[in-house]
Amino acid sequence: MCGIVGYIGHKKAVPVLINGLLSLEYRGYDSAGVAVLSPDNNEYKLDIVKDKGRVKVLQDNKELENLHGNVGIAHTRWATHGIPSKENAHPHLDNSKSFAVVHNGIIENYIELRQKLIENGYTLYSDTDTEVIPNLIHMNYNGDILQAVSKTLKELKGSYAIEVISPLFPTKIIVAKKDSPLVVGIKDDEKIIASDIPAALSHTNKFYFLDEEEIGVIEKDSAKFFDINLNEVKKDIKEIDWNAESSEKNGFEDFMLKEIYEQPNAIRETIGSRLSLDKKVNLELDGVDFKKFNKIFIVACGTAMHAGIVSKYSFEKFCRIPTEVDMASEFRYRNPLIDEHTLCIFISQSGETADTIAALRLAKDSGSTTISIVNVIGSSITRISDYTLYTHAGPEIAVASTKAYVCQVTLLNILALYISEQLGIENKEINSFKESILELPEKVKDTLTTIDAIKEIADKVYTQKDLYFIGRGTDYAVSMEGSLKLKEISYIHSEAYAAGELKHGPIALIENGITVIAVATNPNISEKTLSNLEEAITRGANSVLITNQDIKNDKINYIINIPKIDSILSPIISIVPLQIFAYFIAKNKKLDVDKPRNLAKSVTVE
């Protein structure tokens, strides 16, 4: 999705803006641009350089050398309205060329606003929804930029994070946001604005987080904030414990591989001081009366939703509360039965996913209690939710989520134990389950040693067009995530099936040489999954088994042994070979593992 960077300070703006854009490349984009205010004979001039393509294309543009100023805004665009082109790239100008604007989000009523502008004599030069913003600011401007921005924002329907600069106020960047993230990094007499924290991390770890419909007036040595009616808002600076190094590759070929290897430590951070053997689980959820809940909804998208599916087993086992898992995009429109007796848990790495935010708002409006499991500190979901539990996975840059998933599942299991203890439910297995959670970092580390064996399989099957994953119970849940990883980064069609369902239809797809990957880690049902795998082998399938059981079977082409653990937690282990498998398939196909086509790291539009 689109990325925003802004700089105001004593340095030349362009290099800071370009570096910021480079660190946002992982979000996925198709064009890039900058606007800079440079001194010009006691006045200021506004220059824009933008083009279709990578940030590198922009960086190599000679015109950038003429941009000397210390105030600038920059953008990477992920096309929504209008094809990727120079005209549609941001920044956009108003007709008088006084106001330059970059924008993330979607202006839903842009057609109506374009019409209004045209009726008032304006010309729109791009196909974007964004171009209405600088022109509306111009139309509403009568010498007071804050009034003009406030009036403009009130006319917009949809989502926005914007930056505005102009020679009319050359020492300021005006920012505003609604349903799209924006942070202001603070460093002495410099301010770095960004849609994502990693873009500013090499400068500072101190940030202001804009809230909904807030406007900021950012100068090099001050930052003031206002609500949409221009009442001043006092904000606290938040310190983030991520460092710039954690958002660099550190010798790894790709962020995805680095993040796969970071999983043992990331889980250690998630567990932190929340869990120990001799004490009750420690979570900051004081004040929640868990006794009142008769239903739990877990709601999220993509990989985060898979983390929810895997964890349902734990909530039902330890809390004895019926638990349903929903895709946020479905939940928000299906009129779910929620009231004050419902606990709604939302999961999101970015904390900015539009569908998850909408589902969270719906749950709050319906009177339920909301707890969110989030990675990005200060993100929108953390500010809307009644309670937030952070995964502490560190920045996840690769579009394909890996370490966030294992940390989400770990934290959800800890939450299930916490609720169970709060409810006073006796369960003899609680202590051994706690022990198993504490063993996770070492066991995930041991699982990483399967890398060579997995690479060997990936080297053999990477040219295939279809691939199937099967499993039962939590092994089925992890199969869905393994299949998503493969689709996302290798563009190979793949499906995950509950192993028992295979013969109710999908087995018709099995023919000579098709690869079927079975996950079997639950001692009670592994034999059954194995029988289903054999049914596929009989029909010519090339077979792979990921297991922690002592299975010897000559008919299976590859058996990958992983460490034993409680079957509720096994997805945290068994996902590792599946992530590595997807990674090497994509590498064999010479694809961009970190930035797969058509995808964005955080999906801030519906």
Q: Kindly tell me which residue out of 140, 180, 247, 303 binds ligand M6R, with binding defined by CB under 6 A.
A: 303
Three-state secondary structure string covering 161-221: EEEEECCCCCCCEEEEEECCCCEEEEECCEEEEECCHHHCCCCCCEEEECCCCEEEEEECC
The pattern of x and - marking residues 544 through 583 that bind ligand M6R according to CB under 6 A reads: ----------------------------------------
Please pick, from the candidates 349, 369, 372, 410, the single residue that binds ligand M6R as defined by CB under 6 A: 349
- Provide the Cα torsion 565, 567, 571, 573; round to 10°: 10
Query: Which residue in 353, 385, 388, 483 binds ligand M6R (CB under 6 A)?
Result: 353
Catalytic annotation present for 601: yes
28 makes contact with ligand M6R (CB under 6 A): no
31 touching ligand M6R, by CB under 6 A? no
Does residue number 19 form part of the binding site for ligand M6R (CB under 6 A)?
A: no
Q: Considering only 147-155, 166-174, 342-350, 580-588, which stretch makes contact with ligand M6R by CB under 6 A?
A: 342-350
- Other Cβ atoms less than 10 A from the Cβ of 251: the count is 6
User: For the purposes of burial, counting CB atoms within 10 Å of the CB of 43, is it exposed (0-12), middle (13-18) or buried (19 or more)?
Assistant: exposed
Q: Residue 546's beta-bridge partner residues? A: 519, 560
Burial 456-469 (b: 16+ CB within 10 A, else e): ebbeebbebeebbb
Q: What one-character DSSP code corresponds to residue 407? A: H
Does residue number 602 form part of the binding site for ligand M6R (CB under 6 A)? yes
Give CA angle at 187 (184, 193), nearest 5°.
25
Residue 601 C-beta: closest distance to ligand M6R, Å: 7
Q: Binder to ligand M6R among 76, 350, 420, 579 (CB under 6 A)?
A: 350
Using CB under 6 A as the binding rule, whether residue 407 contacts ligand M6R is answered as: no
Least distance from C-beta 481 to ligand M6R, angstroms? 8
Binding segment toward ligand M6R, per CB under 6 A, in 12-20, 88-96, 457-465, 596-604: 596-604
- Candidates 79-87, 89-97, 104-112, 398-406: pick the segment binding ligand M6R (CB under 6 A): 398-406
Q: Does 254 bind ligand M6R (CB under 6 A)?
A: no
Question: How many of the chain's residues bind ligand M6R (CB under 6 A)?
Answer: 16
**Comparison of 529 and 602: residue with beta carbon closer to ligand M6R:** 602
Question: Kind and range of the H or E element at 416?
Answer: helix 403-422
Q: Is 36 in the site for ligand M6R (CB under 6 A)?
A: no
Closest separation in Å from C-beta 478 to ligand M6R: 14
Q: Give the binding range for ligand M6R (CB under 6 A) out of 164-172, 220-228, 347-355, 572-580.
A: 347-355
Helix (H) or strand (E) holding 326: strand 323-327
Q: Is 397 in the site for ligand M6R (CB under 6 A)?
A: no
27's tokens: 């979000």
Q: Looking at the chain, how many residues does it have?
A: 606
Tell me the one-letter amino acid at 34.
V
Nearest residue to ligand M6R, scored by beta-carbon proximity:
302
Distances (CA, A) of 339 to 176, 292, 335, 387: 33, 11, 12, 17
| Residue with token string 């009616």 | 229
Between residues 363 and 502, which has the closer beta carbon with respect to ligand M6R? 363
Identity of the residue, 1 or 321, whose beta carbon is nearer to ligand M6R in the bound complex: 1
| Number of neighbouring beta carbons within 10 Å of residue 424 | 8
- Active-site positions read 2, 601
Q: Which residues bind ligand M6R (CB under 6 A)?
A: 301-304, 348-350, 353, 356, 399-401, 488, 599, 602-603
